[in-house]
């Protein structure tokens, strides 16, 4: 698919409109239970679609060793988004916030979509799944009031290193390029200006440390300077007045604002 053509532009427009609509509905709704039911329903739907699409790629008629295994960051992100919407576990929301708004965003702004068999289906699934991974953290943070913390930042960095390491091992064994840790994508991307492989891996790591830190600092600064906020023994933030539900777990990556 050509980047920044009509197909790409249409998908971007739909994602922006749906993001804005979801934020407005989540923030303005007075029915907390309905909002939570809607989020869980979307999570289950995303989980089913992601599972079916993963299995579809593994079927003999679609099998390509260098393409079909679920070792891209986008493969993990779609399941991560489903878990976050269904369970509201803080570790999943934390990692999704950073992956969905940066790594996944690159797949949206500079898509590497090469049609293999069914063009219409592959176009639909690419944008549906990547769009969901972008919209989910936007709604959870700006719509439902979950806030990043430094613990979430550290967890996301650790998870990224672990996933990239696993993808690299798979690439060595198969000759593939999952998660683009063994080379850049075929189309244009941010990696083009970050040096040749493996130099760009260091560049990307440095960017993540800085950019993700900047994505965390405003929330933490607001928490420490706002007298209405407090942190519990897990470093979680609670603010009066927000209708978001507190997740049952206590891992401490993100915190709902009350």
Is 1 a domain residue?
no
Q: What's the rounded Cα separation, in Å, for the pair 38 and 11?
A: 23
Q: What's the rounded Cα separation, in Å, for the pair 132 and 15?
A: 8
Cα dihedral 221→222→228→232 (10° resolution)? -50
Which pLDDT score is estimated for 203?
93
User: What is the 8-class DSSP label of residue 54?
Assistant: H
What is the residue range of 176's domain? 6-256
Let me know: does 19 contact 138? Beta carbons within 8 Å.
Answer: yes
Phi-psi region of 195 (alpha: psi -120 to 50; beta: other; left: phi over 0): left
Total structural domains in the chain? 1
Q: Which residues contact 12 (CB under 8 A, 6 or more apart)?
A: 108
Is 14 a domain residue?
yes
Residue 114 above 90 pLDDT?
no
| pLDDT tens-digit map of 181-233 | 998 887 777 777 888 888 989 999 999 999 999 999 999 888 777 655 544 33
Residue 244 above 50 pLDDT?
no
Which pLDDT score is estimated for 134?
96
Q: By mean pLDDT, which of 67-71, 79-83, 119-123 is the weakest?
A: 119-123
Q: By mean pLDDT, which of 15-24, 41-50, 71-80, 113-122 is the weakest?
A: 113-122
pLDDT class of 87 with cuts at 50, 70, 90 = very high
pLDDT class of 238 with cuts at 50, 70, 90 = very low
Q: What's the rounded Cα separation, in Å, for the pair 192 and 197?
A: 10
Q: What's the rounded Cα separation, in Å, for the pair 1 and 115?
A: 7
Is the model more confident about 36 or about 154?
A: 154
Candidates 241, 244, 41; CA nearest to 144 is: 244
Is 103 a domain residue?
yes
């Amino acid at each position: 698919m050509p980047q920044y053509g009509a197909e790409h532009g249409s998908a971007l427009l739909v994602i922006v409109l749906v993001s804005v609509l979801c934020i407005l509905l989540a923030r303005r709704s007075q029915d907390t239970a309905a909002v939570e039911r809607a989020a869980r329903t979307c999570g289950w739907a995303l989980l089913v679609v992601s599972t079916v699409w993963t299995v579809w790629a593994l079927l003999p008629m679609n099998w390509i060793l260098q393409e079909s295994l679920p070792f891209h960051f986008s493969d993990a992100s779609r399941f991560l988004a489903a878990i976050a919407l269904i369970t509201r576990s803080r570790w999943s929301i934390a990692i999704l916030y950073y992956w969905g708004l940066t790594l996944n965003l690159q797949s949206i702004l500079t898509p590497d979509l090469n049609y293999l068999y069914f063009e219409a289906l592959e176009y639909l699934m690419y944008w549906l799944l990547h769009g969901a991974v972008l919209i989910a953290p936007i709604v959870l943070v700006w719509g439902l009031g979950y806030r990043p913390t430094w613990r979430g930042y550290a967890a996301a960095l650790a998870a990224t290193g672990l996933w990239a390491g696993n993808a690299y091992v798979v690439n060595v064994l198969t000759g593939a390029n999952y998660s683009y840790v063994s080379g850049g994508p075929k189309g244009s991307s941010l990696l083009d200006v970050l040096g040749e492989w493996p130099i760009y891996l260091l560049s990307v790591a440095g960017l993540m440390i800085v950019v993700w830190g900047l994505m965390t600092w405003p929330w933490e600064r607001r928490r420490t300077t706002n007298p209405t906020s407090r942190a519990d023994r897990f470093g979680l933030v609670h603010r009066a007045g927000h209708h978001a539900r507190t997740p049952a777990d206590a891992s401490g990556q993100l915190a709902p604002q009350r």
